[in-house]
Structure 1
Amino acid sequence: TRWKLNQLVPKLGSRELQEREQAIEGLTALGAAAVPALLEQLGKGNPRARAAAAVVLGRLRPPQAVPVLIERLGDAEEAVRDAAIEALEEIGEPAVLELIRRLGDADELIRVGAADALGHIKDLRAVKPLLDLLSHESLSTREAAAEALGELGQPAAVPALAALLKDDSPVIQQAALTALDKIGTPEALEAVRQWHEEHR
């Protein structure tokens, strides 16, 4: 196993897609034995290695990867951020409480990534914290919270999302419209209809 790890881990950061894919498959097959090396790559590998390590961790779903993956939501590279979000979605329930806690993070990228992941995990404990985020001063954070609430599909979010249709930002109005459409209750659809009436 040690020999295999030594062979595969360096390939996570390869410029060659085929080599990276071989490393991802091989490390996934090694299972739990690969986790410490993957966490190390996630923290300090090159961007390709960080993204590839996140992919494998998403497949293996070790709960101890959650804090490190959440840190990568603030990564400078979008590909790494996206891979971390997907991995957290795969891990699912064990990631929820830490993701909720990080909705209040000082780093906007982490707030947005946490909201995105929570929307896809669909754990209802996220509804209230996401509703609280709709009044955040950051436009990107409000947008991410609205989108996540749409994914969660909870009727309880309708009044707050309907109120966002009066937001100064067209981006926020659009996010609220999409979320209300997804929730799809009569109240949600009525709010959407009224908005379209007023914006003819």
Structure 2
Amino acid sequence: MSNGDEPDDGEAALTDLEDFESRLDSVTESLEAAETEADLDDVEATLDATAEALEAADLPEPDDEDEDDPGAELQDRLEDLREDLDAQRGPYLEDVTDDLESVVSTVEGTRWTETGSAELDDAVAGFLKEIGDEIDATVKDGESAERLDAAVEALSELALDPDEDAETIEALLTAVDGLEEGVEAAQSWDDLTVREQLEAEGFYEVLTSQRRKDYPPEWSAVKLYEKRYQHDRSDEEAIEMILLALEKLPGGKDHFMEENVLESLARIAPPEALEDVLPMAGKRNEKAIRVVGKIGDPEALDTLLDFIDGDGDRSLQLETLRAVGAIGSDEATQTVANRLAAEDAEIRSAAARALGRIGDTRAVEPLSDVLADDSEESVRASAAWALVQIGTERAFEAIETNADGSYLVQVEAEKAVLSS
């Protein structure tokens, strides 16, 4: 306002479509003529005032559904002008440091090959040389990420005006763009093929021409590492290489290496493998479940118990019952005992044997009931076997009391008599 009573030309009241269109035309001309940040600030203030006026205006609604909404068209023009305004601002020193910090994040978050590390060092050295005059300091030697961090700090301390120092800021942005290209071109670990990665890790060093008995050679190597681990369970390299093969070599329908590696792990049951295999078990991989069971860590129960309960995949339930039995934690007793009532006789039998391996005396009563009442001889025999494994006086009494003419059950009953 010029005197508190009348609006000046730039603040004229906006009441109809023509007023708004005229104002936006004027903003367009001002934006094209703007040369400084201050000019752009004035344009932004006018856009803000126009948007506020548009929000409050009582503009006519379209008479027909197919007719364009003039208010919506004005709003679109406003948004387009804001985008043009943002594009015309800067460049700012903050843009330089933000882009450089993004490069630092890439450098730190990427695994580089030996070749890639050298290429990365060259790219960083070239960048620092290019901006050396601007930061007026020599960044000390060190890792590439450390040198770039130092450059970010040095650049942040500069006082560059977006108007007066626009050329300098543009030059710095160009230098960062060049650095990004250099980093992108440097060889990272992910640029290597799986075989190249295994080669770089020394995976194939266990092989000689005489020891490549199986195809593919990766399978020969895994079996040799398995043999080494069986001979010396402190052989950290052997298990690391087997787990490397599990990580890198594909599984699925067309590849058998994953299954073979899991079978190898099931034979040697290294505790070091639990962290790698447990997520696979959580995805219902039955071979991984077998490995987890052989390792025997109760930590795995939270992952496995859900696969026992309910009417899930039969094969999955059987494998999980075996694994839980092998783990042998009484935390699983109730969940396993619930499966003594399963419709499938093989699942009932597997549940009984799992309870025997767990050895929890709370299982004596439900196992005794199965021994007395189950219609399947194989299930009753498994219950008798489980009671023998539990081995308490009450367990032996249950076997003697409920032994019948079944040969399988009688065999287990005789074991109980000999053990008592």
Q: TM-score, normalised by structure 1?
A: 0.76
Aligned 1:177-192 pairs, distance under 5 A = 177-192=384-399
Length, aligned pairs only: 189
| Structure 2 residue 224 is the aligned partner of structure 1 residue 22 | yes
Residue equivalent to 1:146:
352
Residue equivalent to 2:275:
63
Residue equivalent to 2:324:
118
Runs (4 or more) in structure 1 with deviation over 6 Å come to none
1:117-154, CA deviations, whole angstroms, 9 ceiling, x for partnerless residues?
A: 11111111111100111111111211111000001111
- Which amino acid in structure 1 is aligned with residue 293 of structure 2? L
Match 2:261 to one of 33, 52, 55: 52
Contact 1:61/1:91 (8 A) holds in 2: no
Residue equivalent to 2:293:
88
Query: Using the alignment, how far apart are the partners of 2:225 and 2:321 within structure 1?
Result: 30
Match 2:307 to one of 93, 102, 109: 102
- Which amino acid in structure 2 is aligned with residue 72 of structure 1? N
Contact 1:55/1:87 (8 A) holds in 2: no
Contact 1:42/1:53 (8 A) holds in 2: no
CA distance 1:34–1:192, change in 2 (3 Å): closer
Bigger RCO (CA 8 Å, 6+ sep): 1
CA distance 1:124–1:41, change in 2 (3 Å): farther
Contact 1:39/1:65 (8 A) holds in 2: no
Q: Report how far residue 41 of structure 1 moved.
A: 4.2
Match 2:335 to one of 103, 110, 129: 129
- When the two chains are superposed, the root-mean-square deviation of aligned CA atoms in Å is 3.4
Percent identity of equivalent pairs = 20
Q: TM-score, normalised by structure 2?
A: 0.39
Rg larger for: 2
Query: Using the alignment, how far apart are the partners of 1:128 and 1:167 within structure 2?
Result: 19
CA distance 1:26–1:190, change in 2 (3 Å): closer
Greater alpha carbon shift after TM alignment, 19-28 vs 84-93: 19-28
Query: Using the alignment, how far apart are the partners of 1:48 and 1:2 within structure 2?
Result: 14
CA distance 1:107–1:7, change in 2 (3 Å): farther
Contact 1:122/1:151 (8 A) holds in 2: yes
SS in 2 for 1:137: coil
Residue equivalent to 1:78:
none
Q: Report how far residue 7 of structure 1 moved.
A: 7.3
Q: Report how far residue 26 of structure 1 moved.
A: 7.7
CA distance 1:24–1:66, change in 2 (3 Å): same
Aligned 1:159-198 pairs, distance under 5 A = 159-165=365-371, 166-196=373-403, 198=404
Q: Report how far residue 14 of structure 1 moved.
A: 3.4
SS in 1 for 2:385: helix
- Structure 1 unaligned runs (5+)? 74-80
